[in-house]
Amino acid sequence: MNISQELLAEIVAHALEEPKIECCGLVAAASEADGSKTAKRVCRAVNIHASALKFEIDPIEQLKLTTAIEDEGWEVGAIYHSHVRSPPKPSQTDINFAAHTGPIEWIIVGLSAGAEPEVRSYLIEDGRINEVAIAEPAT
């Protein structure tokens, strides 16, 4: 996904606001002629579990966010969340959850103790994990 440094900074800021629980949200994106996606907005959500080990967006909140994204003519380009004690790699919980979301990008912010936040992105399909590049949009 093409995503600006400003939008990535919003995701990291969200993760750092409550570093003891996983943050979560959606990234609104526009599809480009070449098949790529460009992030347009970060849509924060509430982790209904308020947990350091898992996240979930309330289905009603997710529907409202998705509807607002689609009303702008965009699509949900990514789901983001943080890992509060580990590197930004999909956990088994993420892999299991991805089985129900269809093909979508997963942006994860790792907040390992004492380290700078690290952001990575993945496609998770059929239990397979493929890291994908996060790039600046073309100008």
Paired strand residues for 83:
110
pTM here is 0.94
Interval 94-105: pLDDT, tens: 999 898 887 899
Closest CA to 15 of 38, 44, 39: 44
- Tally Cβ neighbours within 10 Å of residue 39: 25
pLDDT tens, residue by residue, 83-138:
998 999 999 999 998 988 878 999 999 998 777 999 999 999 988 999 999 988 87
One of 10, 17, 22, 61 is an active-site residue; which one? 22
Residue 139, pLDDT above cutoff 70: no
What CATH number does the domain located at 5-132 have?
3.40.140.10
The closest of 1, 24, 36, 19 to 108, measured between CA atoms, is 24
Tell me whether residue 75 is one of the annotated catalytic residues. Answer: no
Count of beta carbons in the 10 Å neighbourhood of residue 138 = 9
The domain ranges of the chain are 5-132
Instruction: Let me know: does 27 contact 3? Beta carbons within 8 Å.
Output: yes
Q: 38-93 pLDDT, tens per residue?
A: 999 999 999 999 999 999 999 999 999 999 999 999 999 999 999 998 999 999 99
Tokens of 117: 């936040």
Q: Helix, strand, or coil here: 135?
A: strand
Structure confidence at residue 79 (pLDDT): 97
